[in-house]
């Protein structure tokens, strides 16, 4: 049996809490003889700043490069509000994405049947929802230069962020979206703002050309990103795969999260290019460190556990184990187990650790 090398980076706030539940699931797969994992743990974000003065040490970066997959919790929090911009907790995550070349961020938003009532939207709008946002993750305004604040002669300050995309960057993320759509309902919507932004013009042009040349069997629709945000709330089930840039993808995926009931439900996979049959990858929940609920056993660990399911599928080739884990999540929810974020008013909620335990019990029950 192959050994899968994992680097676990719990991070800050609820990061370590939800990462703890993933460790339980990994331990179960090992005990059950389904897979073998070699897990190392390191610091990232504020925790790394406190220990090393930087949000990601060189040693942690080297370990990330050597791992088959990185499992990441969340970073950030008010404690580090005063640290210099270049060393803020979030910079650790951005460096991992950039230096590991993780350009393709898959953010599936699935509304579990048992949670149709937990969404802020009406049941009929979200029931059966199954969409994937494909977010470009290593380009755009997150990384474009210049990125600076300068003081002008009259004493005012001027801040600049730069949105940059090349055809190559657009083509490779669009190809990921088209390939994924072919395995699903064969529909891609591409969101940009070509009415305002030059990057939007190039984005639309490049996606259209790639579609005509290599993916004309896949349905393609172009949508302006602001309209897309509205459509996601008006009628989310019209979409299958939604491809967009780094910033729009960040925002649209938080919108999509609420269609599933909670930000605590959304997993993600950040993937690099395939080289010699393998690819670098990092798996993380879409949510942040949730300082408002950290340390209280209130966080929903499903986004993080769902991210592990994506790692089993995309990095370790353990497709059956991934299905098993997702089925265990479905059954746990169907049995009525809820953390506070997905519990309706007056419904009993369990804590983070109890939710993790319940999912492991369901895995165990399925195994019999």
Residue 300 assigned to a binding site: yes
Q: Is 341 annotated as catalytic?
A: no
**Which CB, 73 or 288, lies closer to ligand IPM?**
288
> Quick check: 250 binds ligand IPM (CB under 6 A)?
yes
Residue by residue, what is the 3-state secondary structure of the chain? CCEEEEEEEEECCCHHHHHHHHHHHHHHHHHCCCCEEEEEECCCCHHHHHHHCCCCCHHHHHHHHHCCEEEEEECCCHHHCCCCHHHCHHHHHHHHHHHCCCCEEEEEEECCHHHCCCCCCCHHHHCCCEEEEEEECCCHHHCEEEEEEEECCCCCEEEEEECCCCHHHHHHHHHHHHHHHHCCCCEEEEEECCCCCHHHHHHHHHHHHHHHHHCCCCEEEEEEHHHHHHHHHHCHHHCCEEEECHHHHHHHHHHHHHHCCCHHHCCCEEECCCECCECCEEECCCCCCCCCCCCCCCCCCHHHHHHHHHHHHHCCCCHHHHHHHHHHHHHHHHCCCCEHHHCCCCCCCECHHHHHHHHHHHHHHHHC
**Which CB, 199 or 289, lies closer to ligand NAD?**
289
Of the candidates 99, 130, 161, 254, the residue annotated as catalytic is 254
> Quick check: 293 binds ligand NAD (CB under 6 A)?
yes
> Quick check: 303 binds ligand NAD (CB under 6 A)?
yes
Q: Is 65 annotated as catalytic?
A: no
Of the candidates 142, 215, 239, 314, the residue annotated as catalytic is 142
Q: Is 245 annotated as catalytic?
A: no
> Quick check: 161 binds ligand IPM (CB under 6 A)?
no
Q: Is 250 annotated as catalytic?
A: yes
Q: Is 112 annotated as catalytic?
A: no
Please, what is the minimum distance in Å from the beta carbon of residue 149 to ligand NAD? Answer: 19
> Quick check: 250 binds Mn ion (CB under 5 A)?
yes
Sole window of 88-96, 178-186, 307-315, 327-335 interacting with ligand IPM (rule: CB under 6 A): 88-96
> Quick check: 171 binds ligand IPM (CB under 6 A)?
no
Please, what is the minimum distance in Å from the beta carbon of residue 355 to ligand IPM? Answer: 22
Residue 108 assigned to a binding site: no
Hey, which residues between 270 and 299 contact ligand IPM (CB under 6 A)?
286, 288
Contact positions vs ligand NAD (CB under 6 A): 14, 74-77, 90, 93, 262-264, 284, 287-293, 299-300, 303, 341
The residue ranges that bind Mn ion (CB under 5 A) are 250
Question: Hey, which residues are catalytic here?
Answer: 142, 193, 226, 250, 254
Residue positions forming the annotated binding site: 77-90, 97, 107, 135, 226, 250, 254, 288-300
Q: Which residues are annotated as a binding site for Mg(2+)?
A: 226, 250, 254
């Amino acid at each position: 049996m192959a050994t899968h090398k994992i680097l676990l980076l719990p991070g800050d706030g609820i990061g370590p809490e939800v990462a703890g539940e993933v460790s339980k699931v990994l331990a179960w797969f090992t005990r059950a003889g389904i897979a073998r994992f070699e897990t190392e743990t390191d610091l990232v974000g504020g925790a790394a700043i406190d220990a090393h003065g930087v949000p990601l040490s060189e040693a942690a970066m080297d370990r990330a490069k050597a791992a088959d997959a990185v499992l990441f919790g969340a970073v950030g929090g008010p404690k580090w509000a005063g640290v210099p911009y270049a060393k803020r907790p979030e910079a650790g995550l951005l460096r991992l994405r950039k230096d590991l070349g993780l350009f393709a961020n898959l953010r599936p938003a699935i509304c579990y049947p048992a949670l149709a009532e937990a969404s802020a939207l009406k049941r009929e709008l979200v029931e059966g929802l199954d969409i994937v946002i494909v977010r470009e993750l290593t380009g755009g305004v997150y990384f474009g230069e210049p990125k600076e604040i300068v003081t002008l002669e009259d004493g005012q300050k001027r801040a600049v962020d730069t949105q940059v995309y090349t055809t190559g960057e657009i083509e490779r993320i669009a190809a990921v979206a088209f390939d994924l759509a072919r395995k699903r309902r064969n529909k891609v919507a591409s969101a940009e703002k070509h009415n305002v932004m030059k990057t939007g013009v190039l984005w639309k042009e490049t996606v259209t050309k790639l579609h005509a040349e290599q993916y004309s069997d896949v349905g393609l629709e172009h949508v302006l990103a602001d309209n897309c945000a509205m459509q996601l709330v008006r009628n989310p089930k019209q979409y299958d795969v939604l491809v967009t840039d780094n910033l729009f993808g960040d925002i649209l995926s938080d919108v999509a999260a609420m269609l599933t009931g909670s930000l605590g439900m959304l997993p993600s996979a950040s993937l690099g290019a395939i080289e010699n049959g393998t690819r670098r990858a990092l798996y993380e929940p879409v949510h942040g460190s949730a300082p408002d609920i950290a340390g209280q056993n209130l966080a929903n660990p499903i986004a993080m556990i769902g991210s592990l399911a994506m790692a089993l599928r995309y990095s370790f080739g353990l497709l059956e184990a991934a299905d098993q884990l997702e089925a265990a999540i479905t059954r746990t929810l169907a049995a009525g187990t809820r953390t506070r974020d997905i519990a309706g008013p007056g419904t009993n909620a369990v804590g983070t650790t109890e939710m993790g335990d319940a999912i492991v019990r369901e895995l165990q029950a399925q195994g019999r």
